[in-house]
């Protein structure tokens, strides 16, 4: 299963062939995809691995995840701010220990792969060594991973609070060390407006201007108490999102998690600046943050895709995230909601997420030229999946069954493009 060029249209071959081989740089990429019957004659000496009853699909792309929050999953709180204070910040302070970071990074990547996620845009912590731990491990496994050191020089406790000048120096050092190395990328990572001084946001924006192909990642308008806090800090800003705009932090390859409590002017600003939203429905439901407005997003046409937001999010599994997104589409802010099609949900977590990250044509799909990151799904992985998927009368029915009933057991194998 893959997506037609420039569309969320899923293509499924009952008896398909995926041809993989090295590109000019020696990296394994897709050479061809289509029906076995039509393609096999063009590749007569191909070594073919038969996968009867299985589905090959693009590896999933997670647009927003915190690798240091593995152990924070499932920590209940009244809302975002007490959750940060009581669970997240204390836990992230442990990443001053490089050994702890390395162990967590290994576990984190194992968990991504078990769940079929082959590309992620990830927060590390404010400790520069936490970036080295994650990107070092991703490099060993040949993963496409984008990550950044969190910037948080205020309203943050000892143990995670950084120093303004040093944080910016560290960010630039990490950009030069990691960005564009093998399949790795760097993201300038101001945590969110309340945790960053004006000087730190200004410095982040200046780096974002100087390093145009580096990513920017942050959070915006997730929770009403957070929005009110930003209003106190910046009474003259038109909106929370506008604060990032004032510091030059809205641009292509800038990705903001949540984007819940925003208005159409914000949506237009996202559209006009090429800024993307990372929609994180399991996190928003768990922390009681609110609902991403799919109807408004479609109307205004800015870039967005799906994300787990572990550990506010409750699962690494893209199937959990897609199902939660479906619920949110139905019950979200604008009534009546939308009944998102399964192929749309799947696209938002693969090719659509890749497009929002500026990685279209590289990951998230299996069109010729894409890096060969893919999953092998077993639609009979559980008795109920087997019962349900054998009755699917259309591709929509099959994909919906996988989204609703699927979890890590559905991912029989995750294959990463070698070099
Ligand atoms: N806002 C600032 N930091 C965080 C975080 O770690 N998780 C979530 N969900 N929101 C945040
Ligand atoms: Zn987050």
Distance of CA 280 to the CA centre of its chain: 9
Instruction: Tell which atom from ligand 1 comes closest to the C-alpha of 312.
Output: 9
Phi-psi region of 31 (alpha: psi -120 to 50; beta: other; left: phi over 0): alpha
Pocket test for ligand 1, best of 219, 226, 243 (most atoms within 8 A of CB): 219
Residue 144 near ligand 1, beta carbon < 6 Å: no
CB atoms within 10 A of CB 297: 23
Alpha-helix runs per DSSP H in 5-156 = 36-39, 80-83, 89-92, 98-114, 128-140
pLDDT value, residue 305: 98
Q: How far is the CA of 218 from the centre of ligand 2 (A)?
A: 7
Pocket test for ligand 1, best of 222, 258, 286, 289 (most atoms within 8 A of CB): 222
- Residue whose CA lies nearest to ligand 1 atom number 9: 312
Q: Write down the residue that tokens 């293509």 correspond to.
A: 11
Pocket test for ligand 1, best of 88, 194, 221, 321 (most atoms within 8 A of CB): 88
Instruction: Tell which atom from ligand 1 comes closest to the C-alpha of 287.
Output: 9
The CATH number that domain 60-356 falls under is 3.20.20.140
Per 3-state DSSP, the chain is made up of helix, strand and coil in percentages (nearest 5) of 45, 20, 40
Q: How far is the CA of 115 from the centre of ligand 1 (A)?
A: 22
What residues contact residue 315 under an 8 Å CB cut-off, 6+ apart?
Answer: 73, 282, 308, 321
Residue 191 near ligand 1, beta carbon < 6 Å: yes
CB 29 within 8 A of CB 337: no
Tell me: the pLDDT tens digits for 321-339? 999 999 999 988 888 889 9
- Residue whose CA lies nearest to ligand 1 atom number 7: 312
Q: How far is the CA of 309 from the centre of ligand 1 (A)?
A: 8
- CA-atom Rg of the chain in angstroms: 21
pLDDT value, residue 336: 87
Tell me: the pLDDT tens digits for 48-61? 999 999 999 999 99
Residue 192 near ligand 1, beta carbon < 6 Å: yes
Name the token pair of 3. 């997506």
**Structural domain boundaries in the chain:** 2-58+366-415, 60-356
Residue 258 near ligand 1, beta carbon < 6 Å: no
Residue 88 near ligand 1, beta carbon < 6 Å: yes
Distance CA 289, CA 361 (A): 33
Residue 309 near ligand 1, beta carbon < 6 Å: yes
- Residue whose CA lies nearest to ligand 1 atom number 11: 219
Q: How far is the CA of 343 from the centre of ligand 2 (A)?
A: 25
Instruction: Tell which atom from ligand 1 comes closest to the C-alpha of 280.
Output: 9
Main-chain dihedrals φ then ψ at residue 266, nearest 5 degrees: -65, -45
Q: What average pLDDT does the structure give for the chain?
A: 97
Q: How far is the CA of 12 from the centre of ligand 1 (A)?
A: 37
Tell me: the pLDDT tens digits for 64-78? 999 999 999 999 999
pLDDT value, residue 56: 98
Domain 2-58+366-415 top-level CATH class: mainly beta
Residue 240 near ligand 1, beta carbon < 6 Å: no
Q: Cis omega before residue 419 (within 30°)? A: no
Residue 365 near ligand 1, beta carbon < 6 Å: no
pLDDT value, residue 236: 98
The parts of the chain modelled with pLDDT lower than 50 are none
pLDDT value, residue 331: 85
Q: Write down the residue that tokens 């992620």 correspond to.
A: 120
**Nearest ligand, measured from the Cα of 88:** 1
């Amino acid at each position: 299963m893959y997506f037609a060029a420039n569309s969320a249209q899923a293509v499924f071959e009952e008896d398909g062939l995926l041809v993989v081989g090295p590109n000019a740089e020696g990296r394994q990429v897709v050479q061809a995809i289509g029906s076995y019957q039509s393609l096999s004659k063009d590749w007569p000496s191909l070594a073919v691995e038969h996968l009867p009853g299985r589905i090959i699909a693009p590896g999933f792309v997670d647009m927003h995840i915190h690798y240091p929050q593995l152990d924070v999953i499932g920590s209940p709180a009244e809302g975002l701010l007490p959750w940060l204070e009581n669970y997240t910040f204390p836990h992230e302070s442990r990443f001053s220990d490089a050994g702890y970071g390395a162990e967590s990074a290994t576990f984190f990547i194992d968990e991504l792969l078990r769940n079929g996620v082959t590309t992620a845009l990830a927060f590390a912590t404010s400790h520069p060594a936490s970036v080295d731990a994650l990107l070092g491990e991703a490099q060993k496994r040949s993963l496409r991973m984008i990550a950044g050191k969190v910037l948080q020089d205020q309203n943050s406790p000892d143990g995670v609070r950084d120093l303004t000048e040093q944080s910016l120096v560290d960010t630039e050092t990490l950009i030069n060390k990691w960005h564009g190395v093998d399949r790795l990328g760097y993201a300038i990572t101001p945590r969110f407006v309340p945790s960053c001084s004006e000087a730190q946001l200004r410095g982040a924006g200046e780096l974002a201007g100087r390093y145009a192909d580096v990513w920017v990642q942050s959070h915006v308008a997730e929770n009403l108490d957070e929005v009110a806090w930003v209003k106190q800090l910046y009474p003259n800003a038109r909106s929370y999102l506008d604060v990032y705009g004032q510091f030059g932090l809205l641009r292509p390859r800038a990705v903001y998690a949540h984007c819940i409590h925003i208005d159409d002017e914000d949506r237009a600003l996202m559209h006009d600046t090429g800024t993307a939203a990372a929609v994180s429905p399991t996190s928003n439901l768990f922390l009681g943050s609110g609902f991403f407005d799919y109807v408004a997003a479609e109307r205004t046409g800015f870039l967005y895709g799906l994300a787990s937001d572990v550990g506010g999010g409750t699962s690494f599994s893209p199937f959990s995230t897609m199902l939660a997104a479906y619920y949110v589409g139905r019950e979200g802010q604008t009534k009546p909601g939308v009944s998102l099609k399964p192929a749309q949900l799947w696209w938002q977590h693969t090719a659509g997420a890749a497009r929002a990250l500026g990685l279209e044509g590289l990951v998230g799909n299996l069109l010729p030229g894409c890096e060969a990151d893919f999953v092998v799904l077993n639609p009979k992985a559980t008795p109920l999946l087997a019962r349900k998927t054998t009755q699917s009368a259309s591709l929509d029915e099959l994909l919906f069954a996988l989204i609703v009933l699927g979890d890590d057991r559905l991912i029989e194998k995750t294959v990463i493009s070698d070099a």
